[in-house]
Amino acid sequence: MILFYDTNLARVFPVKINGYLWKVIVCMKRFYKTEAEFEDFYLKLKLTMCPHCNVRGCLILHGYLYGYCENDMSIIKRGHRIYCSNRNRKNGCGRTFSVLAAVFIKNFMITANTLWCFLEKISEERTLVSALRESGSCIGQSSIYRIFRRFSDHQVRIRSYLSRIKDPPGLKHITSAVVQTILHLKSVFNKSCCPVAQFQHYFQASFL
């Protein structure tokens, strides 16, 4: 059974709903792991539907997406921008969207790897500040409170994604919902060195 389908850039993953196995196909790529993977996305760009106006044939590359490096103020490339062209009689909407490397977190300087190290320390009952410092990040304390609050707010969505492929591990003795979510993430992507980046790449959805 198929829930969603788009012929271009589709990515299939199994989902179990009411005991039946469904195939869910993600229509639009939002995260990539390697430049080779992005190149494959780029080659199919003209066949791809714009996520804003659903028009095909108008998407073009619109440069790189830059951002600040996590531990200093240097500028690094974080992904690519795509433009839905309305120039030269094209029927596009003129809006842009980004396709991000999965190792970065959208709208945050912290990388997926540092965020995972931080969350892992939280699951080991460290305080927020010590978990942050042990993760090797130099970002400010106020930022980590903001990131942690954002993670707490997004737990339901994250667990909803994770439950599509695996039930949470038996954690009755753990009362903290945050720790349960972290361990659920770890159990789903237990073969990955960075479950946060793997989450983004697998579901093509932002972690935060």
Binding residues (CB under 5 A) for Zn ion: these are 50, 52-53, 84, 92-93
Provide the minimum distance between the beta carbon of 51 and Zn ion in the complex, in angstroms, as a whole number. 8
Provide the minimum distance between the beta carbon of 83 and Zn ion in the complex, in angstroms, as a whole number. 9
Question: Of 116, 134, 86, which is closest to residue 186 (Cα–Cα)?
Answer: 116
**Are the CB atoms for 77 and 65 separated by under 8 Å?**
yes
Taking the least distance from each CB to Zn ion, the nearer of 15 and 53 is 53
Taking the least distance from each CB to Zn ion, the nearer of 94 and 136 is 94
Taking the least distance from each CB to Zn ion, the nearer of 67 and 92 is 92
SS3 134: helix
Provide the minimum distance between the beta carbon of 84 and Zn ion in the complex, in angstroms, as a whole number. 3
Taking the least distance from each CB to Zn ion, the nearer of 46 and 52 is 52
Dihedral (CA of 163, 166, 170, 175) sign = negative
What whole-number distance in Å separates Cα of residue 122 and Cα of residue 154?
16
Provide the minimum distance between the beta carbon of 45 and Zn ion in the complex, in angstroms, as a whole number. 12
Q: Are strands 59-68 and 31-32 parallel, antiparallel or unpaired?
A: unpaired
